[in-house]
Amino acid sequence: MDNVQSGILAPPPRLACYLTFSLKSHGAVAPAISSLLDIVDGNKVVLGFGYPVVGALNRQIDGLRIFPSFFGSGLALPSTPSALWFWVRANDRGQLLHLARKITDTIAPAFDRESILDAFVYDTGRDLTGYEDGTENPKGDKAVAAGIVQGKGQGMDGSSFVAVQKWVHDFAGFAKLSSKEQDDSIGRRRTDNEELADAPPSAHVKRTAQESFDPEAFVLRRSMPWGNGTEGGLNFVAFGKSFDAFEAQLKRMVGAEDGIVDGIFQYTRPVTGSYFWCPPMRGGRLDLRALGL
């Protein structure tokens, strides 16, 4: 699909870094974004626009909204809107550093960098708790159907809506649980990734079972572990044709449906929550017609 930022559909790279930016100067937004066109190739660099920047351009993207922090009952979660989100994907730490610097310097007239996060693949694609992550991700045509906008017209088709949450793990708290309690929190066995037949309703894979929603709630997860010294967790990243499937899952995870909170909250918490719209590609460059650019 040459109208999609190809990094979205590709498997995660070994190393990556995530950057977010806030708006500094409304007037300088359009030229700063235009100057990104030579840097963002959709593969080594994937870009998403947040609600604040779309507003600054006096545009609207149907379906793009601010991350909800509350679903009426259950746990409240942080909502941290950012203007821009970059997923820089390279297998070389030096290349990542130079790309991050280039992006930051190029858009400095209009945007301040808010955060930079180093991410990596752990072992065979495990979360830092040791559990395989991504097993039930849709693949091939199903990945496209779940993650990519289609049938919405020029400038929108090929785009994607991405939900991003930085989760911080409490490794000491996790280690205090027995291996049965740990497996029950996910609903899969860490040793062989088998789904547990007798998992409790709080098990993460029971909360989020994609076929169990009406309508079915499939997303394309591209999360990566992050680490900084001895701190770490998961940078949860889910691409969707809209935010609806992600929101349905999150709602159930926080117990807003039935009061049952997802088992993973015993040892991990999100500290950010943001939504972005990742524009399509056209002729090898970002297609920004929906933003009037």
Task: Write out the residues near ligand HEM by the rule CB under 6 A.
Answer: 127, 131-136, 165, 167, 186, 188, 204-205, 208-210, 219, 234, 236, 238, 246, 249-250, 253, 264, 268
Q: How far is the CB of 90 from ligand HEM (least distance, A)?
A: 24
Query: Checking phi first, is residue 91 left (phi over 0); if not, alpha (psi -120 to 50) or beta?
Result: alpha
**Nearer to ligand HEM (CB atom), residue 3 or residue 249:** 249
Q: How far is the CB of 212 from ligand HEM (least distance, A)?
A: 8
Q: How far is the CB of 157 from ligand HEM (least distance, A)?
A: 24
**Nearer to ligand HEM (CB atom), residue 3 or residue 208:** 208
**Nearer to ligand HEM (CB atom), residue 37 or residue 175:** 175
| Contact (Cβ atoms closer than 8 angstroms) between residue 240 and residue 161 | yes
Q: In this structure, what are the phi and psi dihedrals at residue 196, rounded to the nearest 5 degrees?
A: -85, 125
Q: How far is the CB of 88 from ligand HEM (least distance, A)?
A: 21
**Angle 61-63-64 from CA coordinates, rounded to 5°:** 65
- CA 14/CA 12 separation, integer angstroms: 7
Burial 59-79 (b: 16+ CB within 10 A, else e): eebebbeebeeebeebbebeb
**Nearer to ligand HEM (CB atom), residue 137 or residue 159:** 137
- CA 278/CA 256 separation, integer angstroms: 29
- CA 75/CA 261 separation, integer angstroms: 8
Q: How far is the CB of 121 from ligand HEM (least distance, A)?
A: 14
Q: How far is the CB of 264 from ligand HEM (least distance, A)?
A: 5
Peptide bond into 11 cis (omega under 30): no
Q: How far is the CB of 84 from ligand HEM (least distance, A)?
A: 22
| Contact (Cβ atoms closer than 8 angstroms) between residue 48 and residue 127 | no
**Nearer to ligand HEM (CB atom), residue 86 or residue 226:** 226
**Nearer to ligand HEM (CB atom), residue 136 or residue 244:** 136
Residues in the chain: 293
**Nearer to ligand HEM (CB atom), residue 40 or residue 224:** 224
| Contact (Cβ atoms closer than 8 angstroms) between residue 275 and residue 50 | yes
